[in-house]
Amino acid sequence: MSLQKTTLAEGYDRSALLYDQLVGASYVAGVRRLLAQHPVPPGASILDVGTGTGIALFEAMRQAGRTSLAIGVDLAPNMVLRATAKAMSMGLPARFFVADAEHLPFPDATFDVAICSSAFHWFTDRVAAAREMLRVLKPGGRLLLVSASAPCGWEWFVAMMAAARLVTGRLDALQVPNLPSPEAVAASLMAAGFQILAANPTMHRTPMDPAAMTGMMSLVVPNWNAKMDPITSSRVAELGNRILSMKQSSGGNYTWTAVEIVAVRPLLSLPSRAF
């Protein structure tokens, strides 16, 4: 596995126990909107890619009522453990595995529905991941995808970079994640062979919570950890305070931009190198 993926998985491993409490609930709204418009039929087989603690998969399972197969995969082993424990405690027949979205360990045409919630923007090779999701979907199978998209959270990144520079004295203390535009997300899916049925860019303003955000970012974001190691809780708290003092510049809110997409694996697809 590449260093970037290893570092990302380690970051999410560290966040597994706090994930639901810090950010998990905020991601489920987009999945709920997609599920309301494109319900998962009873008895469907569902795959959740970049499943984290399983939030989106559980949502889809509850809607379907009955599933023939419900699987979540994630790079981070602790996320997989957490999702498994949650499924057991809720009595839901979901199974979770450690796997890379770019190399899904399933035969062709296994699933009726694939879900990818707030994970696509992390994938190193998005077209490769999209090809894999297409491959494991049955012809006519649907992908429900929510991805963060640029310029998501720019107020945070401005404030965090400034705060990190003040605290560390380093200009390169933090780097802004390379978020795709909504068009780039759709283009990756189409390049893989998906047909887009609906694409809806969304934007909402969210109050900044420096404690939650610095806590999450210090756990997860690879660049943060790489440049600021060792992260101590006092340093995270100091950053939180610095960011709090900068809140005024953005009115205390930040902008969350994402794209919600429904795509389908065409019933008939031409070989990609036909000509």
Ligand X SMILES: C[S@@+](CC[C@H](N)C(=O)[O-])C[C@H]1O[C@@H](n2cnc3c(N)ncnc32)[C@H](O)[C@@H]1O
Nearest distance from C-beta of residue 85 to ligand X, angstroms: 15
100 binds ligand X (CB under 6 A): yes
119 binds ligand X (CB under 6 A): yes
Strand-pair category, 111-117 with 137-148? parallel
Sheet strands (E) in 103-252: 111-117, 137-148, 195-207
Residue 52 region, left (φ>0) first, then alpha (ψ -120 to 50), else beta?
Answer: left
Nearest distance from C-beta of residue 45 to ligand X, angstroms: 18
Among 71, 79, 163, 246, the residue binding ligand X under the rule CB under 6 A is: 79
Between 52 and 153, whose beta carbon lies closer to ligand X?
52
Using alpha carbons, select from 150, 158, 262, 261 the residue that is nearest to residue 203.
Answer: 150
Structure tokens at 45: 């087989």
Between 125 and 238, whose beta carbon lies closer to ligand X?
125
- Report d(CA 145, CA 153) in Å as an integer: 19
221-260 residues in contact with ligand X (CB under 6 A) are none
**Phi, psi (deg, nearest 5) at residue 183:** -65, -40
Among 22, 35, 55, 70, the residue binding ligand X under the rule CB under 6 A is: 55
Nearest distance from C-beta of residue 46 to ligand X, angstroms: 13
Structure tokens at 36: 């309301």
77 binds ligand X (CB under 6 A): no
78 binds ligand X (CB under 6 A): no
141 binds ligand X (CB under 6 A): no
Between 8 and 262, whose beta carbon lies closer to ligand X?
8
Alpha carbon 160 to its chain's center: 21
19-48 residues in contact with ligand X (CB under 6 A) are 24, 27
- Report d(CA 207, CA 227) in Å as an integer: 27
Q: Interface with ligand X by CB under 6 A: which residues? A: 5, 8-9, 12, 24, 27, 50-52, 55-56, 73-76, 79, 100-102, 117-119, 122-123
